[in-house]
Amino acid sequence: MDKILEGLVSSNHPLQVKKAIIKKVIEAAENTVTEEQCQDMFTLTTHLILLGEDAFQKQVGFQVLEAYARYHRPEFERYFSKDFVLGLLQQGYGELHHKDPAIIDFIHSCLRLLISCPSVLEIFSVIQVEVLRMVCERPDPALCARLSALLSDFVQCIPKEKTGGLFCQQLVRTISYFQCFASEEQELREYVSQVTRVSTLLQNIWKADPATLVPSLQEVFTIISSTELTYEPSIALACLVQHIPVHMITVLIKSLTTDQSVKDANMTKALCRMIDWLSWPLAHNVDIWVIALLKGLAAAQKFTILIDVTLLKIELVFNRLWYPIVRQGAFAVLSHMLLSFQHSPEAFHLVVPHLYDHILESIKDLPKPGEDKIKLVLNQSAWTSQSNSFAPGFLRPSGKSETGKTGLVNLGNTCYMNSIIQALFMATDFRRHVLSLNLNGSERLMKKIQLLFAFLSHTQRAAYAPKNFLESSRPPWFNAGSQQDCSEYLRFLLDRLHEEEKTIQVLQSSEVLKDVSNDDRTDNCPNSLTSPEENVSSLNPTHCDNRTLIEKMFGGKLITGIRCSQCNSMSEKEEPFTDLSLAFCPPATSAESGQAAGPSSAPELHCQGSVNGGSENPESGTVKSPASSVSIVPMTSEPPLSVPDLVNYFLAPEILDADNAYFCEKCSSLQRAERTLKVVSAPEYLILTLLRFAYDAKCHVRRKILDNVTIPALMRLPVHTQMSSESLQEDSPECSENLAKKLKPSQNDDEERIDGAVKDMPFQSVPYVLCSVVMHSGLSSESGHYYSYCRNICEVDGTQHLTNCLSLKDDNGAGCISSSCSSVTVSHENSLSPKGYPEKDWLLFNDSRVTYASFQSVQNITDRFPKDTAYVLIYRKQEIPGQNVNGNGETNGMRMNAEPPLHKELLDAIIKDNKLFLQEQELNARTQVLQASSSCSSRPNGSDDNNPPGSCGPSGGGGGGGGFNTISRLVF
């Protein structure tokens, strides 16, 4: 037998000889041998298996060991004892270190041969203790994989009870030490295979003993959140994520994001390392957990962490797209990061330069998503819109409403400003031109409104507090905190902007002219507020458009003509206007009784004139408001008034007689005369103010006219060509006088036509589409609340789609209307307008709250809430291809096709404020968590305590304006 053993160990024999020797040894094992011989054979085979020079010797050792263990089991049981196993695991074998994987393989093979022996139970107990010690020594992936294979086959060797949880935690920490230094594909595959075997062992343990799962996950978070580790945890930890039940996401993420013991630095480090896991191949659900944690942090309003992590890791996530094996998960995380980082384009700019041209090429053929779809995706990913299921019940992130529009915080009776600003902001062309102006470094009011519009367009806040703009734009006679009139504020604001630009034009013009004289050349016409889209003309006064932006957008022209009844001489005066103040028509009984409806038959009436050059003197012709128009209780016997009725009344000829007689310079005496008003230049945006606030001379109180006024979606304004005085003198004075007597609400042109009509005076019927309506809610002029309805124009070019729904032809089918004695023709197609508006086409702006509305709500507001009445209306000119709609042979050319890009100064200010807003949200959330004194959320917009439409806010506090404490707003 000794010779046989020597031949088996020797490597000098040919292969055939070795095979013959093996066969003889196995046959000898079947015969009866002494115990000493068996022990020698076991020692020899162990030596061959563990210290064999080549794979052949190791194979021979296993074969002989298996044969002797089968036929001599008692001898093998005495040889492979617990002391022998303990020595192997603690001291190794000869030159072989105890951490060598070959030792684990040897023990694994021997356990298979000894499984039915009683002594194996003692060996299991030894291995349970030793494997815990071994994982605490941080074995390498190869040894850990062999150990996992052993424990997977012999679960009796896995530590139990208290040591079971400890073993899992130590195994997790061991995985964090795994590092791969391989560069060849085969080596990489082997490394991934080894890690997979270890993670599979943990999965099996978690299934068998669920109590070990949470401690294991806690250990994972402790490792990845540590800021004091001397090593970087291996991304191999990603292999564990796929084995965590997905239904545990909500519980675990809530526990992590609301644990006040977890510092921001630790959470930031943990999230960064989880994002690194996206590089681990074949690890499923990593993206799900990363996105869930991002959403959980957003719901807990920990925005500082999200900002830091996104800026640190978004480029790494983007680079993972190059690798198909991890592309799907990386793309999901990248999409969420970009869509949620809405307060700034910084994250987007970090990744786009890497692949900008390729991205454009890839998406050019993809279908363009609709605006509603884009808003939905953005809102779902926005940090301020995340579900509170991850956060404590008392946390309520204040995000924008579903409309995507930003409200304005009521700063204490400032609804008069908020309603006007929202109406101007929703005037699409005006907003776009304001945002496109080059005003860097300016402290002008236009710069402030530009900044305010930029914030309303791009802020993350649900409501923005315009404190700086309020201080700059409030009229000097407006007391802070007092209720004021929105129409007066609008007039003052437009006038300030106009005069400011005019002043700058004069200064710049003098500088340009000086430069021209020095250079002996012609330069461009100076205009301080020009946008990139506008072409600047030359200094030639016939071509240079020196109009201010306010004039281009809101400016029109009126001609007031007064004709003496005695000598028929005509006096004309052209005046600019930015709004028309519409008095209420007299009751029908006055007209039917044959009494004159003009100022000559009523007490003098004072109301506002035009902003730019308009006069409040009765001779200015801007008002025509007899005392009979003051009505406190709406009339029910007559049809309700309409806006065209009020415009008709405003433009109707007026007789000046008696105390209001006209002093004719030609006659050198007071004479009976006729005053006429004609619009000769139509504004881009037509502002109409309804004079609802009157002074009752009998009762000596200020009252509000509560008459309902029908608001058409589309109306037409007659715009005259400027005609000479001679042609006007041919008109019959009696004709206009008769018209003034007969004029009453809602009558048709045919009813106004009289025998012996005068010469036709052609004019153009300019169509206007309703853009905004500012409502006043209240029973008096002393208190109330303002809110506004505005059209939500979604088209890129700003074109009103209502054109397709409403006919833009004139009543007689021609492009110009001929009238006889009346040059006042304002048509309205109210019956078609509601059907022309799609759902969500109107928005209700009530200070900080913005909600969807409908055109029916605008029309029926007074029927539903009698104290809520339309006050200021803004109509937008509807351009007709091929038709001159300006009345003076020119077009404004002020339409812009898209929202202009923000200037860097505006963008930086918005980014800074958006980050500040997120920090404020985070601070508020942390304060609530620390106090934990109430489960109710606080109001997100401090002073926004207005009542809803249809009710009147309190006279003080956040109720908003509506008081009228200036004489120019009153009708006497």
Q: Which residues are catalytic?
A: 415, 785
Question: 598 with 740: CB under 8 angstroms?
Answer: yes
Length of the chain: 972
The residues pairing with 877 across neighbouring beta strands, listed in sequence order, are 768
Query: At 547, phi and psi to the nearest 5?
Result: -65, 145
Residue 363 and residue 372: Cα distance in Å, rounded?
A: 19
CA distances from 655 to 208, 727, 737, 740 (A): 101, 20, 7, 8
Pairing of strands 673-681, 654-656: antiparallel
Neighbours of 328 (CB within 10 A): 11
Q: How many CB atoms are located within 10 Å of the residue 677 CB?
A: 23
Query: Can you tell me whether residue 22 is helix, strand or coil?
Result: helix
Q: Is 696 helix (H, G, I), strand (E, B) or coil?
A: strand
| Alpha carbon separation from 48 to 442, 596, 775 (Å, rounded) | 89, 129, 98
Inter-CA distances, 607 with 592, 620, 698, Å? 26, 11, 19
Residue with tokens 């915080």: 409
Q: How far apart are the C-alpha atoms of 119 and 625, rounded to whole Å?
A: 115
Grouping H, G, I as helix, E, B as strand and the rest as coil, residue 854 is coil
Count Cα atoms within 13 angstroms, Cβ side, for 16: 0
Label residues 170-201 b or e (16+ Cβ within 10 Å = b). bbbbbbbbbebeeeeeeeeebbbebbbbbbbb
Contact 286, 280 (CB under 8 A): yes
Helix H or strand E encompassing 50: helix 35-51
| Residue 912 C-alpha from the chain's centroid | 16
| CA angle, 124 then 128 then 133, to 5° | 145
3-state secondary structure of 515: helix
Residue 517 and residue 531 in contact, taking contact as beta carbons nearer than 8 Å:
no
Burial 297-309 (b: 16+ CB within 10 A, else e): bbbbbbbbbbbbb
DSSP, collapsed to helix, strand or coil, labels residue 366 as coil
User: H helices of 242-285, where?
Assistant: 249-257, 264-276
Q: Which of 819, 716, 679 is nearest to 761 (CA)?
A: 819
Number of H helices, E strands in the chain: 34, 21
Give the bridge partners for 565, in sequence order: none
Q: Which helix (H) or strand (E) holds 572?
A: strand 570-577
Nearest residue to 385 (alpha-carbon basis) of 364, 366, 404 = 404
| Residues 6+ away with beta carbon under 8 Å from 63 | 22, 26
Tokens of 28: 């000898």
Position 830: which residue type? N
Question: Do 597 and 697 contact (CB within 8 A), yes or no?
Answer: no
Task: Give the three-class secondary structure for 64.
Answer: helix
Main-chain dihedrals φ then ψ at residue 791, nearest 5 degrees = -70, 135
Instruction: Say how far apart CA 824 and CA 892 lie, in whole Å.
Output: 24
CB 597 within 8 A of CB 626: yes
CA 474, CA 483: separation in Å to the nearest integer? Answer: 12
Determine the residue type at 272.
C
Sign, Cα dihedral of 86, 92, 97, 101: negative
